Amino acid sequence: MEVIQVEGGHRFTGEVRVEGAKNSALKLMAATIMAPGVTTLTNVPNIADVHVMGKVLKNIGAEIEVVNEHELRIDTSGVTSWETPYHLVAQMRASTAVLGPLLSRFGKAIVAMPGGCNIGARKIDMHILGLEALGVEFEVKHGNIHASAPHGLVGDTVTLNFASVGATENLMMASVFAKGVTTIDNAAREPEIVDLANLLNEMGAKISGAGSPVIEIEGVSELHPVTHRVVGDRIEAGTFLAMGALMGEPVTVRGFAPLHLGLVLKKFEQMGISLERGSDSCTVWRDRPLVPTDIQTLPFPGFPTDMQAQTMCLLALAKGSCVITENVFENRFMLASELQRMGADIVIEGHHAIVHGVDGFSGTQVRSPDLRGGAALVMAGLIADGVTTVSDIYHIDRGYEGFVEKLASLGARIRRVELPDETD
């Protein structure tokens, strides 16, 4: 079993560059289905989830040339199938992002029902309800979603119950060729939504309002392939900034827009953390104790749920108590019990985590509960007394490219180690 071992207490300072955003790249790859021909994506992160999305596209007939580890040439002219099998959707629920593109291209799609994952049920009822408003009919059988638009997709107004990222993306892509105009109300506003809308408009779509709560899509007849650079990964950046804030010495993170982490950086400043924002970088340092600060996760521009775990790690060492409220996922506090093994004092009450700051962490064996929780455990190991061994690190490899190498370049005493499998 492969683990990450990190020895706490070493100087952590320097510069690191982040990759393109995982939560944009996966959808941009799916969108190439709608533009037959060769689309080139640059600044693509070299991570497990991108490799899975590559398999999904190849499975329906696309050809992918890996120009280099951060540039893909995706040829979708040969896409003939509209079915995404369970084993690929089970590996990565973001595979459901092909639903909108397949409906746009073929007027039908068969996508395995995504399972939940350990942060929640991850339903897609809002995707389905919205697409039905555009004339799509659904039948779920044998674990597969059979979607079809027998009379073609027709634009309409769709109001989302919750500003769902995935539902907004699928609806935006399904509307590109729909007859007339589609309006998505209460749309998600994440920077990754804007990046997807930019790609689609570069391909010839007519989308306005991306980044605001109301997105309007005027149907067009076709899209053409383009070259597009994936937006920088604000969550990868926020993860390294949180680590620099924890350890105290200056850490500069490049390759992302600090505007995309607006509230996170404001909350960090309330927590006693110093920041210097650049146009595509941010430097962080800390020379005073961490101040307990209440956090509420919400859709963008609210505090991102994907930064909740990293921030919990910081607040667990603040001078006092505070409350973290998780409003986006129903089960995203699993980090707390692992941090408690390191000495944290956190009480979970439903959607609230009451965090009582302690003086320090003690290194031990811990298990990654999910992608961001795993990163947060390695972060805790940077400052913990002794060695912290983090297992189930496949979660981390799904979303962080060169995680160990990047932390080592900042001074962390960290390595990947193959341990004999635990025998029960």
Catalytic residues: 117
Nearest CB to ligand EPZ, comparing residues 125 and 185: 125
Q: Which stretch binds ligand EPZ (CB under 6 A): 104-112, 116-124, 148-156, 237-245?
A: 116-124
* 123 is an interface residue for ligand EPZ by CB under 6 A: yes
Nearest CB to ligand EPZ, comparing residues 167 and 172: 167
Q: Which of 100, 107, 155, 166 binds ligand EPZ (CB under 6 A)?
A: 166
Q: Tell me if 306 is assigned to a ligand binding site.
A: yes
* 260 is an interface residue for ligand EPZ by CB under 6 A: no
* 94 is an interface residue for ligand EPZ by CB under 6 A: yes
Q: Which stretch binds ligand EPZ (CB under 6 A): 140-148, 158-166, 246-254, 286-294?
A: 158-166
* 378 is an interface residue for ligand EPZ by CB under 6 A: no
CA–CA dist 84, 112 (Å, integer): 6
What is the nearest approach in angstroms of ligand EPZ to the Cβ of residue 150?
A: 23
What is the nearest approach in angstroms of ligand EPZ to the Cβ of residue 164?
A: 3
Number of C-beta neighbours around residue 350 at 10 A: 9
CA–CA dist 271, 151 (Å, integer): 55
Cβ atoms of 388 and 411 closer than 8 Å: no
* 374 is an interface residue for ligand EPZ by CB under 6 A: no
Q: Which of 19, 236, 306, 338 binds ligand EPZ (CB under 6 A)?
A: 306
Q: Report long-range pairs for 293-296 (Cβ below 8 Å, ≥24 apart).
A: 293/267, 293/318, 293/322, 294/322, 294/323, 294/324, 294/325, 295/267, 295/322, 295/323, 295/324, 295/325, 296/324, 296/325, 296/327
Q: Tell me if 73 is assigned to a ligand binding site.
A: no
* 305 is an interface residue for ligand EPZ by CB under 6 A: yes
Inter-axis angle of helices 22-31 and 99-106, to 10 degrees?
10
What is the nearest approach in angstroms of ligand EPZ to the Cβ of residue 177?
A: 22
What is the nearest approach in angstroms of ligand EPZ to the Cβ of residue 247?
A: 23
Q: Which of 26, 33, 53, 312 binds ligand EPZ (CB under 6 A)?
A: 26
Location of structure tokens 């989308």: 207
Residues 184-243 that bind ligand EPZ (CB under 6 A): 188
Location of structure tokens 């779509």: 205
Nearest CB to ligand EPZ, comparing residues 77 and 212: 212
Looking from the CA of 322 toward its CB, the CA atoms found within 13 Å total 23
Cβ atoms of 45 and 20 closer than 8 Å: yes
* 379 is an interface residue for ligand EPZ by CB under 6 A: no
* 124 is an interface residue for ligand EPZ by CB under 6 A: yes
Q: Which of 1, 66, 121, 259 binds ligand EPZ (CB under 6 A)?
A: 121
Q: Tell me if 328 is assigned to a ligand binding site.
A: yes
Q: Which of 134, 165, 257, 282 binds ligand EPZ (CB under 6 A)?
A: 165
Residue closest to ligand EPZ when measured from CB atoms: 166
Positions touching ligand EPZ (CB under 6 A) are: 22-23, 26, 94, 120-127, 162, 164-167, 188, 305-306, 328-329, 371-372, 399
